Amino acid sequence: MLKKDEIYRVFVEESREILTALETDLLDLEKDIHNEEIINRVFRAVHTLKGGSGMVEFSVLTDLTHEWENVLARLRAGEIKASPRLISLFLEAVDTLKRLIEQPPARVPETLRGEVARTIDQLRRYHGVETVSDGPAKRPADGREKFGEKYLNIVLKFRPDIYLAGTDPLLLIKELTEQGDIVRLRCDTDALPPLDQLRPDTLYLSWELVLRTEKPLSAVENIFIFVRDENTILLDDVSHRFKDGVDLQYADKKLGEILEEEGLVDRRDLEEAIGEQKRAGEILLEKKKLDSRALDEVLRRQQRSKEIAQTSTLRVDTGKLDKLVNLVGEMVIGVARMSQTVQSGPLAHNRDMNDTLDHLERISRDVQEQVMRVRMVPVEATFRRFQRVVRDIASDLGKRINLYLSGIETEIDKTVVEHLDDPLKHLIRNAVDHGIESPEERVKRGKPADGSVWLRAYQQEGKIIIEVEDDGSGIDRERLVRKAKEAGIALSAEMTDQELYGLLFLPGFSTARKVTELSGRGVGLDVVKRNIESLRGAIEVYSEKGSGTLFRLKLPLTLAIIDGMRVAVGSEILTIPLLSIIEAIRPAPDGIKTIEGKGELIEFRGEYLPLIRLYEILGFEDAITNPEEAIVIILESGIRRMALLVDDVIGQHQAVIKSLETNFRRIEGVSGATILGDGRVSIILDIHGIEHLAFGGHRAPEVVA
């Protein structure tokens, strides 16, 4: 059975997803205010939130969604129209709900309660009767809503398994009481079985009632929006039958005739009918008790039914998934140790043993790949959050900017996605505030008044590529050089664009002409670089003055397991991420050049690259010091290439990453460790850290023409 806290956790998780989709729909509605399909989706989302909050007894959230639903009902009925002002109010309501669902229902802070009250007050301004196009409707002087009193005859016959679909008919009837007064209610109990055959998850009752209301018919119909297709829901306006609150068809009839007409009793046996009603009441009372005891079971079945029948997915706690990944990693290490033990023992040439090991390695690799796929999630949810960011910032700055998304179905490790939010937020804010010009300035330059930002994702050569591009003013190279000199940074005339743009990522460096809340304070891009490198990724910058700027992020598919190249340095075995390796070469006798004050350089395909002696910066002994007898690994470190001197290349393998920072301490130049087949520890190199150790945070040496 689901416990109360587990039910609430499911509610919070589902609410987060609903609010994310709701925000996207509202932004789309702002661009197409007459789109009825979007309006209906928004209504359904708010209605679902209202129903869920009622189930977990979150009254503050229920109050807010109830008022919002009333406004949406009028919007769907055409009594008010969508407008930028109204949609802004809806987006504010989304923000309030996001903060609200993160609070325990019984401990909502007073400040947040006050925010909810203000939002409700603003929503209530749209409850009036007059049709408006941009702004709240005017309310009648007496404060009452006057749609005209009417009487609705409502028949409710639900499927027996409606509880398993997540609907409680009694809650729907309760919602009807919020729309008006129920002047007559008849419950049909004919289908009730004997008590010993009663199932708490099956509905045996149906209802017919008359509702007196001043609300529009659409408001009453909206209560049943999710159940009309699969159940019998009949609404009939019977106002003509009533006068001064009296049903004229019963005015001259005796009690027996009324009861007979209603199908309650035969006139000849009124007493028996009364007895039956009493017994039915007792059964209903007993059923209520059973329902109370079986509520958890019903909710559990409901959740399972929804997951299997509707989505074919299953929610899994991320902690359990992480444990599974760790276990798979241990399995991979175990298989590698077994293989090495066999190969170095008397069974090394046993054909059956080798075939069995090959089969086991294939299975372990398949299991590993499948588990890693479970951790993969689309970038869509992350990307769509930035639609709101661009809208709000552009509005504050008086700019008109469109955000275009592509590759939103691209999948990436959940851990990587969780660390992408801040870097992307900085880059997009930089593009909107720092890159794209004002509408007036764009028109003067012959550009469209509306600026554009593109957010893309795609896979390339085993990496995830994410790009943030704008069609703004671009990077002014001359201004960048001037700012660098003012900051006392030594520059070379031969610096490439990539190296020059790398200055933008230095802490405290900024080319902003004025300080704003979003840019110009010397923070932002250095955070981006640090976060991306912590993900073992790299960032590149491309720009053309007057045309725009492109930031390209290169990221690994996953942080848990990497493809690595094992190399020997002295008595140590190190692992280099395969994504950073371009090529491995043995230097020619005259391939190494030493330049005074610059260090060692190696020629590679007509280009001179800085040479890093790995044994020197890591303090390893007994390593090969003569480059002609060693191997040089050519690496790419984001904005430059460099060469790494190692003793030998052992081979490629998959490395299960273990955190040194968690189990030992942080070591610069090391991103983690992995266990080899013989039980030894192999450290995994952090290429950016190695670069920093080698050059002390300065530029790598280069040949001056």
How far apart (Å, rounded) are the C-alpha atoms in residues 487 and 490?
9
201 and 226 belong to one structural domain = yes
Q: Which two tokens stand for residue 477?
A: 């190279």
192 and 55 belong to one structural domain = no
**Residue count of the chain:** 705
Residue 603 has pLDDT above 60, yes or no: yes
| Per-residue pLDDT at 264 | 47
Structural domain span for residue 654: 561-695
Last residue of a domain, one of 309, 341, 358: 309
Domain of 25, CATH number, reads: 1.20.120.160
CA angle 337, 343, 345 (to 5 degrees): 100
Residue 655 has pLDDT above 80, yes or no: no
Q: Is 47 a catalytic residue?
A: yes
Q: Which two tokens stand for residue 548?
A: 């725009």
Report pTM: 0.63
Q: What is the pLDDT of residues 496-515, one digit of tens each?
A: 777 788 888 877 676 665 55
Q: What is the pLDDT of residues 214-256, one digit of tens each?
A: 887 777 887 887 777 788 888 888 888 887 666 666 554 544 4
Mean pLDDT value of segment 2-20 = 81
Mean pLDDT value of segment 587-613 = 82
Position 342 confidence tier, pLDDT thresholds 50, 70, 90 = confident
If one compares 546 and 283, the residue with the highest pLDDT of the two is 546
Residue 145 lies in a domain: no
How far apart (Å, rounded) are the C-alpha atoms in residues 61 and 97?
7
DSSP element (H, E) containing 206: strand 206-213
621 and 546 belong to one structural domain = no
384 and 532 belong to one structural domain = yes
The closest alpha carbon to 675, from 655, 649, 660, 652, belongs to: 655
How far apart (Å, rounded) are the C-alpha atoms in residues 169 and 203?
9
Torsion of CA 495, 497, 499, 501, to 10 degrees: 130
Domain of 250, CATH number, reads: 3.30.70.1110
How far apart (Å, rounded) are the C-alpha atoms in residues 553 and 458?
11
Share of residues in the chain with pLDDT > 70 (%): 80
Residue 416 lies in a domain: yes
Active-site residue, from 47, 127, 426, 434:
47
Main-chain dihedrals φ then ψ at residue 588, nearest 5 degrees:
-75, 160
Q: Which of 257-261, 536-540, 654-658 has the highest mean pLDDT?
A: 536-540
Mean pLDDT value of segment 128-151 = 48
CA angle 249, 251, 257 (to 5 degrees): 75
Burial class (CB in 10 A: 0-12, 13-18, 19+), 248: exposed
Mapping DSSP to helix (H, G, I), strand (E, B) and coil, where does residue 462 land?
Answer: coil
Q: What is the pLDDT of residues 33-58, one digit of tens each?
A: 888 899 989 998 998 888 888 778 88
Q: Is 69 a catalytic residue?
A: yes
Q: Among all chains, which residue has been given the structure tokens 């469209």? A: 448
How far apart (Å, rounded) are the C-alpha atoms in residues 557 and 130?
55
Active-site residue, from 430, 469, 653, 688:
430
660 and 620 belong to one structural domain = yes
| Per-residue pLDDT at 575 | 92
Q: Which two tokens stand for residue 185?
A: 């209610």
Q: Is 271 a catalytic residue?
A: no
| Per-residue pLDDT at 127 | 67
The closest alpha carbon to 644, from 675, 688, 606, belongs to: 688
How far apart (Å, rounded) are the C-alpha atoms in residues 370 and 154?
52
Total domains in the chain come to: 5
Picking from 119-123, 129-133, 224-228, 337-341, which range would have the lowest pLDDT averaged per residue?
Answer: 129-133
How far apart (Å, rounded) are the C-alpha atoms in residues 520 and 570?
48
94 and 166 belong to one structural domain = no
| Angle (deg, nearest 10), helices 36-55 and 4-31 | 160
The closest alpha carbon to 64, from 78, 47, 79, 81, belongs to: 47
Position 98 confidence tier, pLDDT thresholds 50, 70, 90 = very high
Residue 703 has pLDDT above 80, yes or no: no
DSSP element (H, E) containing 402: strand 401-406
The closest alpha carbon to 401, from 367, 372, 434, 376, belongs to: 434
Residue 381 lies in a domain: yes
274 and 415 belong to one structural domain = no
494 and 517 belong to one structural domain = yes
Residue 548 lies in a domain: yes
Residue 312 has pLDDT above 70, yes or no: no
| Per-residue pLDDT at 647 | 92
